Amino acid sequence: MPTTKALPLIDPAGGQAGDPCCPPLTERPFTAGEAEAAARMFKALGDPVRLRLFSAVASHEGGEACVCDISDVGVSQPTVSHHLKKLREAGLLTSERRGTWVYYRVEPSVLAAMGRLLTASAAV
C-alpha cells in the first residue's frame, strides 16, 4: 500500500501556527519540496467531488460534519468514502468515528495555511 503524505506545516516554534509548507506564491519561487507539498494539496482539491465535500465539511455548522450529512454529491457512498479518504491522506481533513458514523473536520491550521499560500505579499 502506498504511503501517504499530509500537507506539512511548519513547527509552531519556528513560525506562526498554521504556517504552510510554502511561502505565499508571490513571495519567491518554491523549492522542489515546497512545490511537491503544495501540489499534493491542490491535487486533492482538483476533483470537483472532493472540492464539494471539502466545502461541505468546512461550511457545516460547528465546522464538523457527519458523513451522513455530506454524502449527497451525486456519487455512490463508496465513491464518497474514497474521496474523503483522499482528502484525509492529503492532510486536509481529520476524521473521528462515533458509533456507526464518521465525523469529518477541517483543521483551522489547514485553512490558514491554504489562505497564506494563496495570499499576495503586501506591496512595498
Domain-embedded: residue 74: yes
Q: What is the Cβ-side half-sphere exposure of residue 58, based on CA atoms within 13 angstroms?
A: 16
Instruction: Identify the CATH number of the domain in which residue 60 sits.
Output: 1.10.10.10
Task: Note the pLDDT of residue 4.
Answer: 44
Domain-embedded: residue 7: no
The label of the residue with cell 511561502 reads 23
Domain-embedded: residue 24: no
Listed residue (123, 107, 118) closest to 7, CA to CA: 107
> In a structure prediction context, what are the per-residue pLDDT tens digits for the chain, which is 124 residues long?
444 444 444 333 333 434 446 788 888 898 998 888 888 888 999 999 999 999 999 999 888 999 888 888 889 989 999 999 999 998 899 999 999 999 999 977 788 888 888 886 555 4
Is 66 strand, coil or helix? strand
Helix segments in 3-105, DSSP class H:
32-45, 48-59, 67-70, 77-89
pTM of the model: 0.75
Is 21 strand, coil or helix? coil
| CA separation for the pair 58, 108 (Å, rounded) | 9
Q: How is residue 108 written as a grid cell? A: 483551522
Q: How is residue 57 written as a grid cell? A: 465539511
Task: Note the pLDDT of residue 47.
Answer: 95
Task: Note the pLDDT of residue 49.
Answer: 95
Domain-embedded: residue 12: no
